[in-house]
């Protein structure tokens, strides 16, 4: 249970709050909100929350542990974890986040490349099924190794098989930045960190 504070504007325009008002069946009390500029509303719906980023060296054990495959349909707990991870990577800010980086040893990653025109999405049980022979270097950083950047050489193109959060099987053919982010996150799911791959 959480307590949220909404402004009158939110409620009267019924943008964000309409659905929640219906849950509570307090839609008819909207004039109440016009009296009070700030109103506290109690409800049971969970909202995404920021998760603690697990970093080296203190969290190495979790970052190096084996990650388990997920089964469908996903549990409520895992669906909440996905929403929390989406918020966490957005706020960090980062372009990808794997579940072990927030302390969950699951085969789950979020790709967050909205800035580059790709809608943020969750990838479950991903595997690289093919990769180009040609490798290209790129400077990479990692939310689990704050402040450290280095050149990493990876295949320029990959094809990844996995599942959406709805359980739909997908294949992603990627090049450029998306190819690099997918490989970086899949490495996390196999307990590999960029520090293992820095070009000397």
User: Is the separation of the CB atoms in 139 and 150 below 8 Å?
Assistant: yes
Q: How far is the CB of 31 from Zn ion (least distance, A)?
A: 50
Between 52 and 168, name the residue whose CB sits nearer to Zn ion.
52
**Cβ-contact 127, 162 below 8 angstroms:** yes
Measured from the CB atom, the residue of 26 and 138 that comes closer to Zn ion is 138
Count interface residues toward Zn ion (CB under 5 A).
1
Window 140-179: residues binding Zn ion (CB under 5 A): 142
Residue number closest to Zn ion, CB atom: 142
Report the C-alpha gap between 70 and 90 in whole angstroms: 23
Interacting span for Zn ion (CB under 5 A) from 6-14, 108-116, 126-134, 136-144 = 136-144
Strands 158-163 and 96-98, by their bridges, are unpaired
Based on the shown chain and the rule CB under 5 A, indicate whether residue 97 belongs to the binding site for Zn ion: no
Smallest separation, CB 43 to Zn ion (Å): 35
Ordered DSSP codes for 132-197: -S-EEEEEEE-TTSTT-EEEEEEES-EEEEEE-TT--EEEEEE-HHHHHHHHHHHHHHTT--GGGT
Least distance between Zn ion and beta carbon 142 (Å): 3
Q: Is 115 a catalytic residue?
A: no
Output 122 or 142, the one with its CB closest to Zn ion.
Answer: 142
Kindly list the distances between the CA atom of residue 98 and the CA atoms of 68, 114, 152, in Å, as whole numbers in the listed order.
Answer: 12, 17, 18
**Is 85 or 142 the residue whose CB approaches Zn ion more closely?**
142
Catalytic positions: 185
Interface contacts to Zn ion, rule CB under 5 A: 142
């Amino acid at each position: 249970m959480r307590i949220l504070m909404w402004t009158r504007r939110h409620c009267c325009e019924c943008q964000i709050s309409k659905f929640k008002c219906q849950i509570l069946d307090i839609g008819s009390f909207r004039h109440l909100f016009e009296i009070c500029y700030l109103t506290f509303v109690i409800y049971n719906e969970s909202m995404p929350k920021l998760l603690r980023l697990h970093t080296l060296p203190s969290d190495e054990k979790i970052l190096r542990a084996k990650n388990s495959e997920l089964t469908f349909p996903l549990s409520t707990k895992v669906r909440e974890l996905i929403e929390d991870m989406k918020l966490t990577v957005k706020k960090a800010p980062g372009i990808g986040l794997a579940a072990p980086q927030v302390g969950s040893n699951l085969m789950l990653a979020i790709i967050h490349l909205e800035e580059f025109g790709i809608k943020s999405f969750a990838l479950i049980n991903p595997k690289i099924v093919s990769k180009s022979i040609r490798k290209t270097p790129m400077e990479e950083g990692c939310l689990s190794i704050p402040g450290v950047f280095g050149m990493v050489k990876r295949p320029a193109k990959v094809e990844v098989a996995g599942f959406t959060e709805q359980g739909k099987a997908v294949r992603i053919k990627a090049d450029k930045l998306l190819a690099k982010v997918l490989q970086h996150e899949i490495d996390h799911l196999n307990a590999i960190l960029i520090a293992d791959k820095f070009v000397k």
